[in-house]
Amino acid sequence: MTPSIAQILSAISAISGPCAALSLTTLDQFIRFARHLKPELSLGLPDTATSPESLPSHVVSFLANVLGVDIITISDLWTILRHYIWQLKEAYINPSERVLFNEHGARTARKEHKLAYFMFYPPYTRCPCCNRILNRISRVAVTFFTKDGPFPAYSTSLRCNQESCETRYYLNYCVKIKTHIREYYDEPVPDVIHLEDHSFIQVALSELFTSCTLFAWVSSQNCALIYNHALSAYGQQEVHESKYTLTSTQVWRSFVLVSLLKDWKDRGQTLVMREDVELNSRLKELMCQRNERIITEGQSERLHACNTCEKLIPTDIEGSYKGLRSLRAVVTDGVTLGHPCCKVHNCSEPLQNNRHHWCKTHMDQQRVCVFADCNLPARSGHRTCSQSLHQKYEDYQNLKGKGFFLLRQRLQRAGVQQPLASLDPET
Ligand SMILES: [Zn+2]
Ligand SMILES: [Zn+2]
Ligand SMILES: [Zn+2]
Ligand SMILES: [Zn+2]
């Protein structure tokens, strides 16, 4: 049962010395700070339902420093209040207290003892496979991008050494060490995403960028610029450090990762990816899997038909169902987004880079004259062969300040066949 204020105060006053002389503010801060550290205190506990009898030494020195009281007082307060604190709901820590947390928490030399207001832990303190207590701790400094700006944080991972497990657990996923496979936990899309080794992002922030792109055509570069200039108010001084600067790559990665997690979740599956290759290649591989699936299985939205979107009109077409033809409404804003593909007709091999004209297989085509049906090799440093007409065309193309329509008219007059799209300035 939660103790009353009278019980707490009488327990404190029963202890002689500095403990009884504490101000109510310090007592309140001790309770809230210790409660905020509950996940840290739960590490290595055989039973997390019960509070530990004593605090780990690094937590004692942290609390003593941050509250300006001695170590013995902290230990006494914990002995009196530990049951009460363990049952409390998450307490509010105001922004100036968070700064104190970050300043004092970073002072210790040992990495695995460092603390900050934002701490990321795996959801387990025991291995879900073999039920062993996970006590091999690793902690790294990270940046947490939130709607209120970037903050320093620490990410903790726990490893199970059991021969059959060999797994390291992180906030959103675990990594099978032998097979280098990352498996996301079977849970709803989390509020915080482990984006890269040293950065985490609020999903709400990623969704904000998605809305900016969807409704206002903001590019990822501009999303990052807006964030760095308008939202990133944290500490003013620190935000100039590169680790607190959000990049367009991070904006894209968060969008892709959140979308993949949602997609896999919607289909009742857990996202699995390789851990031993570069992140962009992993995300690309998964996006390709998703595209393949949509090509073969279609999308549920595509099958939608209601009386508003679809009309059935009479038709004479042979074989039509009951003499009716379906007419479907299409909404378009007139903007056509091109799909870069290999210039060889019907080649479906993806381009290595969106700026390429040919796929890897047809890359030797770049050494052939670009005129339709001309298979002569292109001159070195040029895109056309040595035939004078083709040469002239390219020279004209490279002229500055000429009207392309004039050239087209001239070519039509001269009876020259239409060149490949690569020389068309409108494509
Ligand atoms: Zn295990
Ligand atoms: Zn409809
Ligand atoms: Zn090709
Ligand atoms: Zn040619």
3-state SS, residue 395: helix
Task: For residue 205, give its domain range.
Answer: 116-290
pLDDT in tens, 167-200: 999 999 999 999 999 999 999 999 999 999 999 9
Closest CA to 122 of 160, 163, 171, 73: 171
Say if residue 120 is in the same domain as residue 93: no
Residue 39 half-sphere exposure, CB side, CA atoms within 13 Å? Answer: 18
**pLDDT-derived band at 143, boundaries 50, 70, 90:** very high
pLDDT > 90 fraction of the chain, expressed in percent and rounded: 47
Can you tell me which residue has the tokens 């690309």? 284
Say if residue 126 is in the same domain as residue 80: no
How many H-runs (helices) and E-runs (strands) does the chain carry? 12, 11
Number of domains the chain is built from: 3
Residue at a domain's end among 265, 290, 315: 290
- Cα(324) to ligand 2 centroid in Å equals 19
**pLDDT-derived band at 371, boundaries 50, 70, 90:** confident
- Cα(130) to ligand 1 centroid in Å equals 4
Which of the ligands is closest to the CA of residue 331? 2
- Cα(291) to ligand 3 centroid in Å equals 19
3-state SS, residue 86: helix
Say if residue 164 is in the same domain as residue 17: no
Which of the ligands is closest to the CA of residue 383? 4
Is the Cβ–Cβ distance between 244 and 198 less than 8 Å? no
Say if residue 84 is in the same domain as residue 41: yes
Which of the ligands is closest to the CA of residue 311? 2
Q: How far lies 369's CA from each of 377, 379, 390, 396, in Å?
A: 6, 8, 8, 16
User: In this predicted structure, what is the pLDDT of residue 419?
Assistant: 53
Distance, in Å, from the CA atom of 246 to the CA atom of 145, rounded to the nearest integer, reads 8
**pLDDT-derived band at 46, boundaries 50, 70, 90:** confident
| Helices assigned H by DSSP within 217-278 | 220-226, 248-266
pLDDT at 62 > cutoff 50: yes
Which of the ligands is closest to the CA of residue 307? 2
- Cα(81) to ligand 1 centroid in Å equals 33
- Cα(168) to ligand 1 centroid in Å equals 9
**303 within domain boundaries:** no
Distance, in Å, from the CA atom of 30 to the CA atom of 43, rounded to the nearest integer, reads 20
Which of the ligands is closest to the CA of residue 136? 1
- Cα(322) to ligand 2 centroid in Å equals 22
- Cα(121) to ligand 3 centroid in Å equals 47
Say if residue 157 is in the same domain as residue 96: no
Count Cβ atoms within 10 A of the Cβ of residue 11 and give its class: 0-12 exposed, 13-18 middle, 19 or more buried: middle
Q: Could you tell me the sign of the dihedral formed by the alpha carbons of 180, 191, 298, 335, in that order?
A: negative
